């Protein structure tokens, strides 16, 4: 008798990978993250840290040498996605539904930008994340963000019901 779970190739479990490998894979598959040189520093279940090194070509204001705000936005968004993936424990297709960023000050010239993201809630279809970008201390942020991510949902064509292939929901 055939196993009905094999009808959909997405039901096959992928081999386990470490949180760090998962995070690196995510960042390497996003061309903009690669271009910005996002470097993953650490990943734990539901949390991640990364940095973007200061480069002249990332400057948004040539008079002050301050990094463009889009670099910070991209860092917070992508790192938040890594935090969600680590909270889920596997790679899923994710989409940013909402991203709110509060800029508190300009980044400092010639300083690398660090970021920390924490996925604090996962529901059936949505994950929620808080993140901060800073240079030296997370207590003196350049910007903070809150975001929500859609987690891939499949529809079982036989029953019309939603399911999450690898999570078993």
In the chain the domains, ranked by start, together with CATH numbers, are 16-163 (3.10.129.10)
Q: What's the whole-model pTM score?
A: 0.80
Whole-number pLDDT of residue 23? 77
Res 3 pLDDT > 70: no
Is 149 or 162 the better-scoring residue by pLDDT? 149
| Residue 154 pLDDT class (50, 70, 90 cuts) | low
Residues 75-88 have a mean pLDDT of: 93
According to DSSP, residue 14 is labeled P
Q: What's the confidence (pLDDT) of residue 7?
A: 46
Q: If you count them, how many residues does the chain have?
A: 169
DSSP 59-109: EEETTTTEEPHHHHHHHHHHHHHHHHHHHHTS---EEEEEEEEEE-SPPPT
The residues, any chain, with a CB within 8 Å of residue 164's CB and separated by 6 or more, are: 92, 124, 151, 152, 153, 154
Distance of CA 8 to the CA centre of its chain: 27
**Contact in structure between 130 and 145 (CB atoms under 8 Å):** yes
Per the listing, tokens 């993250």 go with 33
Work out the mean pLDDT of the chain and round it to a whole number. 83
Question: For residue 157, what pLDDT is reported?
Answer: 45
Percent of the chain predicted with pLDDT > 70: 79
């Amino acid at each position: 008798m055939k196993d009905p779970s094999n009808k959909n190739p997405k039901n096959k479990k992928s081999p386990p990978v470490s949180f760090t490998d998962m995070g690196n894979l995510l960042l390497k598959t996003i061309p903009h993250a690669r271009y910005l040189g996002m470097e993953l520093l650490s990943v734990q279940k539901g949390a991640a840290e990364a940095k973007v090194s200061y480069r002249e070509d990332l400057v948004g204001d040539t008079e002050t040498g301050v990094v463009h705000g889009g670099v910070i936005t991209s860092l917070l968004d992508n790192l938040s996605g890594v935090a969600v993936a680590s909270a889920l424990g596997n790679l899923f297709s994710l989409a940013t539904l909402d991203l709110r960023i509060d800029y508190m000050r300009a980044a400092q010239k010639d300083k690398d930008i660090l970021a920390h993201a924490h996925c604090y809630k996962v529901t059936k279809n949505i994950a929620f994340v808080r993140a901060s970008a800073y240079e030296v201390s997370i207590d003196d942020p350049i910007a903070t963000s809150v975001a929500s991510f859609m987690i891939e949902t499949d529809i079982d064509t036989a029953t019309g019901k939603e399911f999450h292939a690898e999570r078993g929901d």
